[in-house]
Amino acid sequence: MDRNVGPEDRVVRIVVGLALAALVYLGYLEGTAGIVAGIVAAYLVITGLVVRDPFYRMVGLDTAVQEQPYSSTDDRAGF
């Protein structure tokens, strides 16, 4: 599989995943909410680390593609 998670998306996934994991670990989320949050946290951290998301692939989304800046002027000085 090719990469389909961009750098900004990757950072957000890892930070949110770790925050959810911390909430579960510290006991703020218990029971079913804690289990669901733990699964979501693990999914976010794993997909952030491996830079691939199977759900993105299913819907055809790719945040790893970076648009190239287009300049209509010539930036070379003196020419």
- Report if pTM > 0.75: yes
* Residue numbers of the domain that contains 45: 7-58
User: Looking at the domain assignment, is residue 34 inside a domain?
Assistant: yes
User: Looking at the domain assignment, is residue 26 inside a domain?
Assistant: yes
Residue 45's pLDDT is 97
Residue 76's pLDDT is 63
User: Looking at the domain assignment, is residue 71 inside a domain?
Assistant: no
Q: Which residues of the chain are modeled with pLDDT < 70? A: 1, 66-79
Residue 46's pLDDT is 96
User: Looking at the domain assignment, is residue 22 inside a domain?
Assistant: yes
User: Looking at the domain assignment, is residue 67 inside a domain?
Assistant: no
Residue 65's pLDDT is 76
Residue 61's pLDDT is 87
User: Looking at the domain assignment, is residue 64 inside a domain?
Assistant: no
Around Cβ 45, how many Cβ atoms within 10 Å?
Answer: 18
